């Protein structure tokens, strides 16, 4: 019923067996006999990689990446009958003790082992293709990841494995369709690296022209983060939060239309609904989901041919699947009227913990344990017997107690996608370091604008007062108007400008808010600031030029009884007016900083807009990184 690891096959551990019989003729004969005696290779291939330890010493070790690797291996082995699976992971002491059968099965997650695995899988795919079979490849990673100079990477035991490396791996394996599942920080950039110079290319065909998206028509991606987030784990699930949700959905809980097929859209909605009640937005997985060809209706897993036993989960109940050791394997909270067929996996002996509603209005819900009998074939819920559960909680972070508190089903899916359409376009790939860098630039811009405003007010008051007094005393309207104008500008500059206020608002919004709420608005504000600065420079230059011309005219045409200014004086006034006009038209330091923030390719990578097709409509995807 439940697949258990056997002795490593030629594909397990990502190494081909050696030791051919001596003699070329003998080898040919044995190969021919083998080809006649056994069926063609399976058309599904799985490579699971996990690494707890980062190469960077300032990052703490993960606790459950190796556990996630084993769970993915078990789940995909149960859901994909006949699949060839390879597992690269270094098991820590606790994981090895809990999973002794995997100790000899795994290989260290090194770059060399990964490249060897890809070569072995590529050879197997070629054999399947020659046999006329369609091929599907799953690449799963759990561990540390990051982005540097626009290029995403995951961390193996001895080296980084970048987006370009993943692109090459997918090309080498050469499957007809590939699915990439990554649970790491900045996983978005593993399938969407930026080109040198920072420009992002987006189209309906692919997220970018780089990385795995070059093969977009045949590559789908389901990623844990769209920005830099901590890779959250929970001791209660002995797993990363994202991976636990993904496995829960793939075992059948995400099959909203009950057709035995899990699509990218269904799994994205399942993860979104299951984690939607977690109070801390930063702790929720910000999933990036993109089916092959950009179609969310494409199938991630076909459950119909699975060897795992199917059980129709009761509607309106919350169920937790546990293995023989009590570890949580998956979970679902079904809405009223929704009864998905979940697949039981993990070990030959499993149990289901079911949260039952209170018997009385004032009562509390209680957990019941349903023992799953061993055997094969579908199970009927009515045939299971239950008994009250002992204390189930073994400790953990209250942060994630809200997981699965919202029921899932067709109505929840429709509600989820309606909320997604109404929400601001998602922003992908914004890291904390990037936010901090942007914050520093905005703080510098804010202080520069304030200093320039006070300096301008001081000069305007200094020059405006004599003109105003002179115009009043000597009753010269021109001097009075000039003084009043400069005085008015000085008073205006005592108060923050619109641009300065917007920078202050942006600084407040950066703190703890979803980038999708403030990032597009900030870019629009920066563009508006640049236009406003240009407009004010033109107005200031016109005013200063006009004022200079007025001074020259008054000096050349004095009132009756006064001598006109000499030619040298008029020339001096003219030169001073030209210089003053040039200074007024010249960009200030804050204007240059705005242009630098908007145009520096290393700082601002631009906001890319692309159409996204959903199963029930379409939307706009907004991607950006600083």
Domain ranges of the chain: 432-609
Where would I find the H helices in 351-492?
Answer: 410-422, 432-474, 477-492
Q: What is the pLDDT of residue 506?
A: 80
- What integer pLDDT is reported at residue 626 of this predicted model? 36
pTM greater than 0.85: no
Q: Are strands 136-143 and 44-51 parallel, antiparallel or unpaired?
A: parallel
Q: According to the model, what pLDDT value does residue 614 have?
A: 47
Cα–Cα distance measured from residue 297 to residue 274, given in angstroms and rounded to the nearest whole number = 20
Give the gyration radius of the chain's Cα atoms: 33
Structure tokens at 550: 């007025």
DSSP 334: B
Question: How far, in Å, are 24, 125, 127 from residue 30 at the CA level?
Answer: 10, 21, 17
Instruction: Count other Cβ atoms within 10 Å, centred on residue 418.
Output: 12
Residue 554: closest CA among 492, 472, 480: 480
d(CA 615, CA 384): 36
- Per-residue confidence (pLDDT) for residue 213, from 0 to 100: 44
Per the CB < 8 A criterion, the answer to whether 404 and 331 are in contact is yes
Angle between helices 498-510 and 432-474 (to 10 degrees): 160
Q: What is the pLDDT of residue 439?
A: 79
Alpha-carbon distance values, 384 to 341, 343, 369 (Å): 15, 15, 10
In this prediction, residue 29 carries a pLDDT of 36
Tell me what pLDDT residue 499 has: 82
> For 547-616, where are the E strands, in sequence order?
607-614
What pLDDT score was predicted for residue 192? 62
Residue 175 has what pLDDT? 95
Q: What does the pLDDT read at residue 194?
A: 45
Place of tokens 């002992």: 390
What does the pLDDT read at residue 21?
Answer: 40
* 76, 65 contact by CB (below 8 A): no
d(CA 166, CA 161): 7
Q: Quote the tokens at residue 566.
A: 């000499």
- Burial environment of residue 409 by CB neighbours within 10 A (0 to 12, 13 to 18, 19 or more): buried
**pLDDT averaged per 10 residues, the chain (length 626):** 41 35 39 37 85 82 91 94 93 90 92 95 94 94 82 89 92 94 83 45 35 64 70 77 94 94 95 86 81 92 89 92 87 93 86 80 81 85 84 50 83 88 64 69 84 84 80 73 79 84 80 62 80 81 75 70 69 73 76 75 46 50 44
d(CA 15, CA 12): 7
* Residue 366 token pair: 């209680």
Which residues on neighbouring strands pair with residue 134, listed in sequence order?
none
Virtual CA dihedral for 386, 388, 391, 394, nearest 10 degrees? 10
Among 288, 290, 278, 352, which residue's Cα sits nearest to residue 319?
352
Q: How far apart are CA 9 and CA 85, in angstroms?
A: 9
CB atoms within 10 A of CB 90: 19
Separation CA 258–CA 377 (nearest Å): 18
- State the Cα–Cα distance between residues 327 and 252, nearest whole angstrom: 19
pLDDT for res 625:
40
Task: Judge whether 163 and 148 are in contact, CB under 8 Å.
Answer: no
């Amino acid at each position: 019923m439940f697949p258990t690891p056997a002795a490593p096959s030629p594909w397990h551990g990502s190494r081909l067996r050696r030791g051919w019989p001596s003699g070329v003729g003998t080898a040919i004969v044995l190969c021919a006999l083998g080809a006649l005696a056994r069926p063609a290779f399976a058309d599904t291939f799985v490579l699971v990689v996990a690494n707890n330890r980062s190469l960077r010493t300032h990052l703490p070790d993960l606790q459950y990446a190796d556990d996630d690797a084993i769970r993915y291996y078990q789940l995909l082995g149960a859901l994909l009958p006949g699949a060839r699976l390879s597992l690269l992971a270094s098991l820590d002491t606790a994981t090895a003790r809990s999973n002794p059968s995997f100790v000899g099965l795994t290989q260290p997650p090194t770059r060399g082992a990964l490249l060897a695995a890809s070569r072995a899988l590529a050879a197997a795919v070629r054999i399947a293709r020659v046999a006329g079979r369609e091929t599907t490849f799953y690449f799963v990673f759990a561990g540390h990841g990051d982005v540097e100079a626009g290029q995403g990477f995951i961390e193996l035991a001895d080296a980084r494995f970048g987006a370009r490396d993943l692109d090459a791996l997918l090309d080498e394996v050469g499957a007809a369709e590939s699915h990439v599942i990554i649970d790491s920080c900045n996983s978005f950039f593993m399938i969407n690296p930026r080109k040198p110079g920072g420009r992002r290319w987006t189209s309906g065909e692919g997220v970018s022209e780089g990385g795995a998206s070059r093969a977009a028509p045949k590559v789908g991606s389901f990623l844990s983060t769209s920005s830099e987030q901590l890779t959250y784990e929970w001791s209660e699930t002995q797993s990363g939060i994202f991976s636990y949700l993904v496995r829960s959905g793939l075992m059948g809980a995400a099959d909203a239309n009950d057709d035995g097929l899990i699509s990218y859209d269904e799994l994205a909605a399942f993860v979104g609904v299951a984690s939607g009640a977690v109070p801390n937005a930063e702790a929720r997985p910000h999933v990036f989901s993109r089916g092959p060809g950009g179609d969310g209706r494409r199938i991630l897993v076909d459950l119909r041919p699975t060897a795992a036993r199917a059980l129709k989960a009761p509607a309106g109940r919350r169920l937790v699947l546990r293995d023989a050791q009590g570890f949580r394997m998956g979970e679902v909270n079904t809405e009223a009227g929704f009864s998905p067929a979940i697949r039981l996996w993990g070990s030959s002996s499993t149990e289901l913990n079911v949260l039952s509603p209170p018997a009385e209005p004032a009562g509390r819900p209680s957990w019941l344990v349903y023992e799953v009998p061993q055997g094969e074939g579908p199970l009927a819920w009515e045939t299971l017997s239950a008994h009250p559960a002992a204390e189930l909680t073994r400790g953990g972070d209250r942060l994630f107690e809200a997981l699965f508190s919202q029921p899932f089903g067709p109505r929840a899916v429709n509600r989820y996608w309606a909320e997604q359409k109404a929400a601001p376009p998602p922003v992908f790939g914004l890291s904390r370091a990037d936010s901090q860098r942007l914050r520093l630039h905005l703080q510098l811009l804010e202080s520069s604008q304030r200093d320039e405003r006070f300096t301008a007010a001081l000069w305007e008051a200094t020059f405006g007062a004599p003109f105003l007094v002179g115009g009043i005393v000597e009753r010269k309207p021109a001097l009075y108007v000039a003084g009043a104008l400069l005085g008015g500008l000085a008073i205006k500059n005592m108060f923050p400008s619109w641009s300065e206020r917007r920078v202050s608002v942006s600084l407040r919004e950066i703190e703890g808010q979803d980038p999708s709420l403030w990032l597009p608005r900030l870019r629009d504000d920066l563009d508006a600031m640049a236009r406003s600065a240009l407009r004010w420079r033109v107005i200031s230059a016109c005013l200063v030029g006009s004022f200079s011309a007025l001074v020259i005219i008054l000096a050349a045409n004095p009132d009756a009884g006064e001598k006109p200014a000499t030619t040298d004086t008029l020339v001096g006034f003219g030169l001073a007016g030209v210089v003053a006009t040039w200074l007024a038209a010249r960009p200030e330091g804050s204007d240059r900083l705005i242009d630098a923030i908007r145009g520096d390719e290393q700082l601002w990578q631009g906001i890319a807009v692309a159409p996204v097709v959903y199963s029930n409509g379409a939307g706009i995807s907004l991607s950006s990184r600083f």
